[in-house]
Structure 1
Amino acid sequence: MCELLGMSARYPSALDTSLELFRPRGGEIGPHADGWGLAFFEGRTARLYKEPIPACESRCLAFLQGYELQSDMVIAHIRKANPPGVGRAYANTHPFEREVGGRSWVFAHNGVLPGIQAYTPGRYLPMGDSDSEWAFCLLMEAIHDCISHYGKIGDIQQTLACLAPVIATINPLDEFNFLLGNGEHLFVHAHSELHLLRRECRIDGCDQRVALIATKPLSEEAWQCLLPNTLLILKEGEIVQEVRTPGAASPIAWQRRRAQEQGVTDR
């Protein structure tokens, strides 16, 4: 399956070490060789870098890894095309981005969602062929009226109420782990497997707080495995909302996870 990496921080932070551990999984020590993408937020705008090639072979990603870019929100992805027919193309490479109210909204997904094209996105349309981007369009359509003129979330509870039925519809299709962020709030949905790591330290007299999200732990630190069907909303490295999402984790997803833990992979 694809892998996700996300960060929400109180103050801008570099992600070099995590990227150094994440990059080899894109085709060197992992099968995710069909693309990579990285979005660094700078206020309302996301710097988006991506290529439909293995992350381990990318000179661009190697450069960015050591460039010491800093951000208070990052969304990254390494891709394993599934189904294989939705192949390597820039338009199919995560993260995906849309502008709403003068602000970037960025999305990355892990999983496969057969049949999702039966649901009509509305005003947001996919530019590629992936089921992931289709899901992104459905989510954006659901929360469009919850977004202010500045691209921010107005009422979090109203936003959750709008997201719930969409997630309940998509969950049973198969596997729906995702990161959705706008530079202020980071939405993290664990459908089958995601991990959370929290770090706190004092830098230059400031109390830094960082939350990292990864499909699989990137270090020997105390990563927390999130419960299936959990939606977190992070802001400045802190969990501001945590709710259960409708629908059970799919048996297919759980069977795949058990097989992977036993050393058998099918993606």
Structure 2
Amino acid sequence: MPYEMGEYYERVSDYDLEYQSQSEQDVPFWQELMVRYTPQHVLELACGSGRIGLELLKVPGAFRLDGLDLEPGMLKAYQRKLGELPEATQQRVSLHQGDMCDYDLPARGTYDLIFLPFNSISHLYEIEQQFAAFTKTLEHLAPGGRFVVDVFLPDIDYLSDALNRPSTVYLEDELESPDGDFTMMLYTTRKYDAFEQVQHLTWTHEKFFETGENERYLTRLDMHVFFPRELQLLFLATGFSIESIYGGYDWKPFGKGTRQIVVGRKRR
């Protein structure tokens, strides 16, 4: 069946507003990762509008940073934000439009760090897509290079609700626009397909403007649910060794948090 994700990412400014608080949680982790690994050439898959990448550029060092994303609007926003930085910083960044399942970048074979943050792996719905993305990533890494994947740890209670009560409406967030001209309410309904391991989310975005007007629109977002052994086997089956697994952005061991952050390594 066809899965949905594109429309959710087309309203870039709303997306940035919805996930601005996420940066407080995960950006320090990725910055610390750069300090620990000191990579020289980095690739972010599903880089979006630069929420993480632009913050990495604040880490001391002269590393080069590439970004790959499927959505043109996201890359346009990233490029606009990048244009506000010093010219020397801009020269270190290259953005590419493409599919993480089928990409071939000029720097193939030279990256010593490739990362796929904040649940973006969940848009690899089919086994063939998953193997293709991991294989392409392995090809783009230099020997000894690392591939880091960050995705939520499945919550059985959450999935049970999505399986048994798919019509329940949840209030996810209430957000104020940066200019204070509107308030946005976010609601979801969740339906879980236990056989395909896909959760189908329907988002309702409702904006209330200071002018008294309001706007309401719906988006669909489908996400594959990766269970721990499944994700680890995906690394091993595509030629990676697993160096470490963390349970959250606080660097605690796997099992001590709500996430699975797997560090795979290309054998030398």
TM above 0.5, yes or no, is: no
Q: Per the shorter chain, which TM-score range? A: 0.3 to 0.5
Structure with bigger helix share is 2
Answer with 1 or 2: which has the greater Rg: 2
Give TM-score, length-normalised by structure 1. Answer: 0.32
TM-score with structure 2 setting the length: 0.32
